Structure 1
Amino acid sequence: MTKSNAYAGIRFSADEDKVEKYLRLAAELERVEREGPLPVLLYFTGNGYDRTQHRSDEEKFDEVQKAFEQYLGFVTSLHAMMDLGFPTVKPDRVPT
């Protein structure tokens, strides 16, 4: 899958499963934005979750991670949560 115009030459994952996940997530975010009374982040985190207090609420943290995981997969869900400011690490493979 490639893009044209300003994004010419940029390749997306050739992995069909990944592309399907991206498309499902995009469709879900569009639906949430169109239908929901909740902002998108609250859709995933629910009300009352304080991401700075994750150590005292590991169960809730796991629920939030699972909400992201259903669209992004395990590793990418942790990447997204880290990018959004959740206190987590992303498991990367680094050649040594």
Structure 2
Amino acid sequence: MNSQSPLILFMLSSAITIIFWAFVARWAVRRKKRIPGRVFEYLFFLFLFFASYFLTWAASGVMQGPELLSRLSFMIVCIISAIYTGYFHYIMELHN
């Protein structure tokens, strides 16, 4: 594994996450009435939990180098996802 791989993973995972949630936003706005209950609220708290889990691993100092950057990339993905799902539920109010 070369030294560029974790950085590429970080950039690629962040970009794919943003693109995925942009498509979900477009889909959700079109089908606002069919979205059951509080799906985005549950996802919001789930992604926050995973982000805090990965943050705990990163802050523990156990991992260094590529392992740390991989954990940080997953933490950023969870934070981006939490921001989008929180926006869908609390600001756009995409729920019944």
Asked if TM exceeds 0.5, the reply is no
Q: Which structure carries more helix by proportion?
A: 2
Q: TM-score, normalised by structure 2?
A: 0.32
More contact order relative to length (CA 8 Å, sep ≥ 6): 2
TM-score by length of structure 1 reads 0.32
